[in-house]
Structure 1
Amino acid sequence: MQFKEIIGQEKIKQQLMQTVKENRISHAQLFLSPLGSGALPLSIAYAQYINCLDKGENDSCGVCSSCRKYEKYIHPDLHFSYPFFSSGKEDVAQNYIEEWRSLLLHDFYFDIDIWRSKLDAANKQANINIAECHDIIKKLSYKAFEADTKVLIMWLPEYLDKQGNALLKLIEEPPANTLFIFIAQSQDQILSTILSRTQIIKIPKLSGEEISNYLLQKAGLSEHQAIDYSFLADGNLIEAKALASDKQTDSSGKFTEWLRNGFSNKVPALIDFTDEAAKWGRENQKNFLKYGVNYLRECCLIISGAEELVKLPPLTLETAKNLSHKVLTLPMAEAIIAQLEKAHYHIERNANPKILFLDVSLQLVKIIRFKTLPSGTQYIYN
């Protein structure tokens, strides 16, 4: 992967190349970036540039033996680690390398949900386990096969639990010519022991102009559409691509239907929804609840008269406006958000999904239909 393939981030590209030219590459780096800003492809292009046999002033050559292997993600000295849905204690990321390469070759802008869709996740939750940590130590203890620098790119170290401490000695005192690059979205969720041992490189979200230019060139949109979608995406190229494809997530339709059934007190429909939601698997259930929280926060902006700040896709914006103007109030929306966040917490801790979603559905009826907040006090809105 070459730098020229990556959307925007020109300042970061120059900064990374300068570290190579001046021979001041930090051995452990954390690329901290918002979702959809291109941190993962930047890390791969950086590694390719470091090991390119005929690097140019502004990019790797793309044709030497090292670059050709990097382009297919098969270089023997390029290693990846990432969250996966373990089927056993000895499962490691390498077991899913073909799916990982396939996804990168298809589109190197993706998130954990897209990655999950490529795997047989069932009810499992994503993580980077202790077996994977031991496998990393083993792989990096070997001498480099071809390149001057061995590279390990870990995508989403947020999924490392305390077992990540097994990597501390390796990160602090790595073998010669070894480079760690961590790709993260949330600094607060990374083990502090790992965080303290890395050089943080903050990668900004993409500008509206960069995203709109991409949509104009690659998605065949009109200038007006490209500008609208770049605004809604708010620097997230993954979201911009979804909008350009007129994709409306299943969560959107299911969530608004759930709200309507709660308002109409359609108990049989709510029970049917509970049966359906119980079969989704825990990651999909968590995603649905997260979507609901975000959706209602946008509704709060509408209720507060700040529609210009709302970033819902056009397909769902009108529905949100109708709900916000005719049904919801701020206290009601806040009460529902609290219920969804509590449900998300319990799903993460393996609560029975059928019982949980039925309880949340009944709370939804109380809040919307009967205007009763969880405290039991009656709230009558205008």
Structure 2
Amino acid sequence: MQFKQIVGQQGVKQRLLNTVRENRVSHAQLFLGPEGSGSLALALAYAQYLSCEDKQADDSCGVCASCRKYEKLVHPDLHFSYPFFAKHKDDTALSFIEEWREALLTHPYLSLDIWRSYLEADNKQANINIAECHQIIKKLSLKPFESEYKILILWLPEYLDKEGNTLLKIIEEPQPNTLFLLVAQNQDQILNTILSRTQLVKIPTLGYEDVKNYLIQQKGQPVQTAEEAAYLSCGNLTEALAMLQQDTKSHHEAFLNWLRKCYSNKGLEIMAFVEQVAKAGRENQKNFLHYGISYIRECCLILSGAAELVHLPAVEKETAQKMAAVMTLDMGEGISAELEKAYYHVERNANPKILFLDVSLQIIKILHYKMLPQGTQYMN
């Protein structure tokens, strides 16, 4: 991975390059950025630059022996650690290295959901276990084999439980030229003992223009499609790329039909909808709810007098304006809150029939009976 392959983040790239030029490479760094910001890709590009045999002014050369090995993720001095779904207590990241290489090479903006799809995760919880911690200590106790640096990229240290404390000594007193590059999304979930031993590298959310231009120039998307995905993804390139795989037209029609049924309080038709959506699968349910949350947000913008900020295709914008004519801003906020709660519970494997029936009843209260939520109670 080279810096030029990473979308946006010019300021971060420059700061990383400066640490090498000025010989200020910290042995333990935490790349902290939200999902889809490119933090893992940046850590990998930084590692490749450090190991490059013919460093250029602003990037690795991409053609030396080291870079070629990095491009295939097979360099002997590049190591990875990441959450996995252990089948046995002795499993480590190396047990899943082939799946990891395939996932990362295919999805440089990898998310835990995408990573899960490469493994037989079932209902197991991802974690970085004590066996993996011991494996990290073992392989980093050795000297670099080919390059100047031996580098460990530890993705999502949030999944290190108290076992992570076994790594404190090697993080604080590593072998010479050994680097730890931790890539995280949530600082609050990282062990404080580890956090205090790292230098923070903040990765901001990608800008709207960066995502839009990438989708147009690199993915060949029409301008209108790219603009919509860039806006709805809120700077999350992983989410924007996932949206390109979705049939947003069907989401739009299905979501509007659901709201119409709730507005008219058509019980039997709502039950039929619940039966249908319950069979759609967890990811499709999440995508449907995500679309609904974004669509209601656009309706709220119209109700707030900010229609010029709405980024929807013409047909969808027209229906959003019609929807805004039959509800208030408070009603829109209430529906949005119910959809967000539903999304949260779908992620946690709630029973879909019970969940979508409950959400439907709450939306009926808001749209049909004009009863607005106040805490856990409703009032006229």
CA distance in 1, matches of 2:130, 2:15: 34
Match of 2:217 in 1: 217
Show the counterpart of 1:307: 307
CA distance in 1, matches of 2:116, 2:253: 21
Question: Which residue of 2 is the match for residue 267 of structure 1?
Answer: 267
For residues 323-338 of structure 1, the aligned pairs below 5 Å read: 323-326=323-326, 328-338=327-337
| TM-score, normalised relative to structure 1 | 0.80
The Cα shift of 1:341 comes to: 4.6
Task: Name the SS of the counterpart of 2:25 in structure 1.
Answer: coil
Query: 1:66-81, aligned counterparts within 5 Å?
Result: 66-81=66-81
Identity of aligned residues (%): 60
CA separation in 2, counterparts of 1:36 and 1:377?
37
Cα RMSD of the aligned pairs, angstroms, is: 3.7
| Pair 1:322–1:141, CA change in 2 (3 A) | farther
Kindly indicate whether residue 357 of structure 2 is the aligned counterpart of residue 365 of structure 1: no
Q: In structure 1, what is the Cα distance between the partners aligned to 2:299 and 2:85?
A: 34
Return the alpha-carbon distance in structure 2 between the equivalents of residues 296 and 7 of structure 1: 29
Please list, as runs of the form range in 1=range in 2, the aligned pairs for 1:160-309 lying within 5 A after superposition.
Answer: 160-220=160-220, 230=230, 234-241=234-241, 248=248, 255-275=255-275, 292-309=292-309
**Partner Cα separation in structure 1 for residue 193 and residue 339 of structure 2:** 32
Unaligned runs of 5+ in 2: none
1: distance between equivalents of 2:185 and 2:175? Answer: 27
2:248 counterpart SS class: coil
Q: Are 2:154 and 2:183, in contact at CA under 8 Å, matched by a contact in 1? A: yes
Query: Relative to structure 2, which stretch is displaced further, 207-216 or 1-10?
Result: 207-216
Q: Distance in 2 between matches of 1:231 and 1:320?
A: 16
Q: 1:284 to 1:144 in 2, by over 3 A?
A: farther
2:259 is paired with a residue whose SS is helix
> Bigger shift: 188-197 or 216-225?
216-225
Alignment: residue pair count: 378
Deviation at 1:47, TM superposition (A): 0.4
User: Quick check: 1:150–1:179 contact (8 Å CA) kept in 2?
Assistant: yes
The aligned residue for residue 9 of structure 2 is 9
Deviations 1:218-254 (A, max 9, x none): 2345667766765555544345545667853976665
SS of alignment partner, residue 181 of structure 2: strand
Q: Which amino acid aligns with 2:101?
A: R
Q: Secondary structure at the match of 2:152?
A: strand
Q: How far apart, CA to CA, are the structure 1 residues paired with 2:131 and 2:202?
A: 30
Give 1:367's aligned amino acid: I
Q: Is the 8 A contact 1:248 1:315 kept in 2?
A: no
More divergent stretch after superposition (7-16 vs 19-28): 7-16
Letter in 2 for 1:368: L
Partner secondary structure for residue 366 of structure 1: helix
Deviates more, 1:288-297 or 1:261-270: 288-297
Distance change >3 Å, CA 215–CA 293, structure 1 → 2: closer
CA displacement, residues 75-113 of structure 1 (integer Å, 9 cap, x when unaligned): 122122333444455444333322322233234134333
Secondary structure of 1:114's aligned partner: helix
Find the residue that maps to 1:197 and give its secondary structure.
coil
CA distance in 2, matches of 1:322, 1:157: 46
* Distance 1:224-1:267 versus aligned 2 partners, 3 A rule: closer
| One-letter amino acid matched to 1:307 | A
Q: Distance in 2 between matches of 1:62 and 1:301?
A: 46
Distance 1:164 1:4, change over 3 A: same
Assess if the C-alpha contact under 8 Å between 1:77 and 1:146 holds in 2.
yes
Distance between the aligned counterparts of 1:273 and 1:136, measured in 2? 50
Quote the residue 2:63 is aligned against.
63
TM-aligned CA deviation for residue 302 of structure 1:
2.8
Alignment of 1:317-328 (within 5 A): 317-326=317-326, 328=327
CA distance in 1, matches of 2:209, 2:165: 41
Summarize the alignment of residues 79-118 of structure 1 with structure 2, pairs less than 5 Å apart. Answer: 79-87=79-87, 89-118=89-118
AA matched with 1:237: L
Where does the alignment leave 5 or more consecutive residues of structure 1 unmatched? none
TM-score by length of 2: 0.80
* Contact 1:31 1:182 (8 Å CA) reproduced: yes
How far apart are residue 72 of structure 1 and its match?
0.2
Residue type of the alignment partner of 1:95: S
TM-superposed deviation, 1:73? 0.6
Shift of 1:285: 5.7
Aligned partners of 2:345 and 2:297: how far apart in 1? 21
Shift of 1:50: 0.9
For the 8 Å contact 1:219–1:244, the answer to whether it is kept is no
Deviation at 1:347, TM superposition (A): 5.6
- Cα pair distance change 1:342/1:134, threshold 3 Å: farther
| Matched AA of 1:360 | V
CA distance in 1, matches of 2:40, 2:7: 12
Q: 1:38 to 1:318 in 2, by over 3 A?
A: farther
